[in-house]
Every structure is written in C-alpha cells, then in structure tokens.
C-alpha cells in the first residue's frame, strides 16, 4: 500500500474508539494541563524464525519520551528498536501554555522501516514521516495523525483522508491500526499514529504477540487562562488643614527629621 500523504483528524469515530480502548497499552491518567508523548515503543515476543532469529522477547520502553512538568522535548537518532523497526530520527514534545491554558503534544518518526512485518507484507514496510499530535483548548481535546509515503505492501490499502481507527492486517496474525484515537475516562485523548498488534496464534505466518507503537501523543483537558492580579497604586493625601498647594513628602519611621522616631508629613513649597 502506498499513501502519498494520509491526513486525518478530529473527534469522529468515537464509537470505534470505545471498542479499541481495551486493546491499547494502558496510558497513565492525564489531568488538566498535562500532556505526554513518545516516538516509539515495542513490547513483543517473537516466534522462532521471525527476523531470522530464535524466539525473542523485546521491551524497548518509550523512546524519546517527553511530558509537561518534566522534559519538554526529546529526540533519538538512528533508533533500531532491536531490528523490529528502524528510524533515522524520533522526536517528541509536550507543552502546557499557562497563559492560555492550552495543551499540545506531538511525536514524529522520520524514515521508518518495519522489518517485523516484512514476512506478511511481502516486503519491508516503510514511511517517510509518521506523526501523531493532540491539542486541548477550551473547546475540547482533538487529535490527528500524518503518515507520509506509507507503504504496507500486501497488507492492504488505505484511501487518503482516512479517519480515526482504520485497520489493516491478516486475521489471527497481525492488526495494523492507523490513526488510533482513544478517549480515556478522565477526558484525555491518546493518538497513536501507527499501532501494530501481533496476535500470536498458531496460523501459518504467525509472528508472535505484543505491540509496536510509532508516534504517540496524549493530552489532558485545557486549564483556564491565567489571570493577572493588579495592586492599586498608593496615593498620599495632604495633612488635614493643609491648603494642598505644596508637594507632600512622608518622612519614614526613625528618620532624623522626626527626632522621636514617629512619622512626619512635610509640606514643601
């Protein structure tokens, strides 16, 4: 499959999202004003013969991870992901604008290949750029994915403008979810640009079991805009009985002009 540019966004497909929620790796609760992102992760157990190797268990953790209140951005170059995936550059960022209350998160994978799917795709799948992003404003939390020149071989074809949670794959062997969007009970949204699920099983061509995610971004709800408190400027009034025609100067406590350490008001001019 080759899609020159796949762009999809928004809040459509929520019914499909709910069905997929249980199939997505658990995400930490994300409160208002919080966001996180990572470029790639793999947690899989491969069967013997996959990638030309004996049985292999891989857990890479979250590569190039970022989060509000922690690391605002991160990047990794030439990430091999144990031969399952290769990428030239993986980046992520997460931001909370305390002035407007808005939240943004983004993750990108550049020049990615997927050797783990070569056997079922007929060739090594690849993409020039894979990006997931989300944004939270006072109007809600939205997300989108971009996949430039995605080629999944004989796994199938997606039309341009594909909406959230579109699937390709081989029954019982692998599911490939494009622009996966999952809404959590706390109101946050997770966007996975590409989620590969190895389904295990004993079918011919089985690869193993586990998950590979490329480009993931999670946004909590926006916060209210910051408010600025102003302090009134003090004014000095002339003393009682004064004509008010001169300049008034208050002598501070303990100044030598008062002698006894009290405050004194001096009218000059």
Element (H, E) at 4: strand 2-9
What pLDDT is attached to residue 5? Answer: 37
Three-state helix/strand/coil letters over 90-147: EEEEEEECCCCCCEEEEEEEEEEECHHHHHHHCCCCEEEEEEEEEEEECCEEEEEEEE
Query: In Å, what is the CA distance from 160 to each residue of 7, 77, 131?
Result: 7, 29, 15
List of residues 6+ apart from 240 with CB closer than 8 A: none
Bridge-based pairing state of the strands 35-46 and 126-137:
unpaired
R_g over Cα of the chain: 29
Look-up: residue for tokens 């930490």? 28
Note down pLDDT in tens along the chain; length 269 residues.
Answer: 433 333 333 333 333 333 333 344 444 557 999 999 999 999 999 988 888 777 889 999 999 999 999 999 999 998 878 889 999 999 999 999 999 999 999 999 999 999 999 999 999 999 999 999 999 999 999 999 999 999 999 998 776 666 899 999 999 999 999 999 999 999 999 999 999 999 987 787 889 999 999 999 999 999 988 755 556 666 555 555 555 455 555 656 555 555 555 555 555 55
Burial class (CB in 10 A: 0-12, 13-18, 19+), 176: buried
Token pair of 112, please? 């990615």
Query: Which backbone phi and psi does 101 adopt, to 5 degrees?
Result: 85, 0
Query: In Å, what is the CA distance from 158 to each residue of 11, 46, 144, 170, 178?
Result: 19, 27, 16, 15, 9
What pLDDT is attached to residue 226? Answer: 72
- HSE, side-chain direction, 13 A CA sphere, residue 253: 0
């Amino acid at each position: 499959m080759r899609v020159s540019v796949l762009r999809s966004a928004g809040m459509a497909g929520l019914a499909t999202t709910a069905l997929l929620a249980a199939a997505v790796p658990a995400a930490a609760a994300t409160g208002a004003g919080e966001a996180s992102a990572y470029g790639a992760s793999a947690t899989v157990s491969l069967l013997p013969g996959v990638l030309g190797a004996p049985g292999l268990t891989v857990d890479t953790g979250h590569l190039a991870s970022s989060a509000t209140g922690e690391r605002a951005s991160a990047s990794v170059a030439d990430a091999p992901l144990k031969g399952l995936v290769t990428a030239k550059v993986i980046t992520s960022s997460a931001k909370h604008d305390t002035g407007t209350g808005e939240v943004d998160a983004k993750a990108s994978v550049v020049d990615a290949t997927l050797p783990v799917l070569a056997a079922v795709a007929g060739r090594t799948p690849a993409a020039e750029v894979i990006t997931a992003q989300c944004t939270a404003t006072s109007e809600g939390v939205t997300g989108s994915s971009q996949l430039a020149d995605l080629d999944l071989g004989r796994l199938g074809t997606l039309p341009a403008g594909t909406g959230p949670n579109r699937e390709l794959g081989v029954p019982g062997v692998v599911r490939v979810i494009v622009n996966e969007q999952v809404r959590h009970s706390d109101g946050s949204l997770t966007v996975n640009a590409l989620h590969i699920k190895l389904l295990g099983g004993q079918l011919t061509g089985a690869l193993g079991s586990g998950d590979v995610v490329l480009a993931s971004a999670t946004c909590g709800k926006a916060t209210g805009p910051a408010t600025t408190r102003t302090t009134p400027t003090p004014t000095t009034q002339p003393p009682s009985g004064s004509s008010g025609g001169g300049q008034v100067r208050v002598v501070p406590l303990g100044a030598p002009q008062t002698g006894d350490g009290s405050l004194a008001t001096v009218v000059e001019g």
